[in-house]
Structure formats: C-alpha cells, structure tokens
Structure 1
Amino acid sequence: VVVAVQQDSTTKAPVELKDLPEAVTKTLQSDPVKAWIPTAAFLVTNADKTSYYLINVKKEQETGSLKIDKDGKIIE
C-alpha cells in the first residue's frame, strides 16, 4: 500500500529506511551526518519530476531533516 500526500503537485511518499538507495544510506553513514539517527524517510517528487529523499533525523533531543538526492548528495 502506497500512501502519497499531494501538495501543489508535489508528492511525498513514505519509504522504509531499509529500502533507501545505497548512495543515500552511505551518505547517512558518513560524517557529519552519522551522528544523527534516521527516524523516517520520504520520497518527494516535485511537479518538474525532480525528486529527492527527505530523511527525518534525531540526535538526543534535537530533531531535523535532510534532503538527499538519489545519488547521495545532500541538497541545501
């Protein structure tokens, strides 16, 4: 079952952390990102068909999110 949230023709679909592409997983295991623990992941597809992975992360009491493209590059 795939659930996608529609927002301005941008879709956000949940992805199991174990199903992330290898390049994304490697980025999550590299410095300085590896200090953060991934808690959830989503594949975001924009109206122009570009896509990236939005990874929710946590470090102690802090939370944040990372945008990582399919090649493992962090998007600012």
Structure 2
Amino acid sequence: MDLNIRKAILHNLSSNDQNELEATIVDAIQAGEEKMLPGLGVLFELIWNQSNNEDRQEMIEALEQGVKQATSN
C-alpha cells in the first residue's frame, strides 16, 4: 500500500482559508494527540519552505526557547 501522508494532508487542507488553517493548527495543538503530529509537521514544512533566512532564524530561536521551556518543567 502506497500511503503518501503529505499528499493526503495537503489534499484535506487545499480548500481551507486562513481562519480554517488557524483553527486546524490550534485544534491539533490543544488536542495534544500524537496522531496530529504528522499534519503539523507538514504545515511546518510548508512554512519553512516559504520563509526567507531571517524568518527561518527567528523560527529556530523560538524553537530553541520552546524546547528549553518544555524540558525545564
């Protein structure tokens, strides 16, 4: 069986507007379910690929701080 998670996620989100995309992200994070992680990963990949180096550096810094906070608790 050939399962392309990226294609499936992108297909499911292809008609979503900005509000729906935001709701998807917020719902996935609030639910905290492991099964949502691949979808969030695909969305992050899209954001990363659309970002310039300065934006990428800001994301890396935010991730670093988030990881430090999450692991210090």
TM normalised by structure 1 equals 0.27
Say which structure is richer in helix: 2
Q: Tell me which structure has the larger Cα radius of gyration.
A: 2
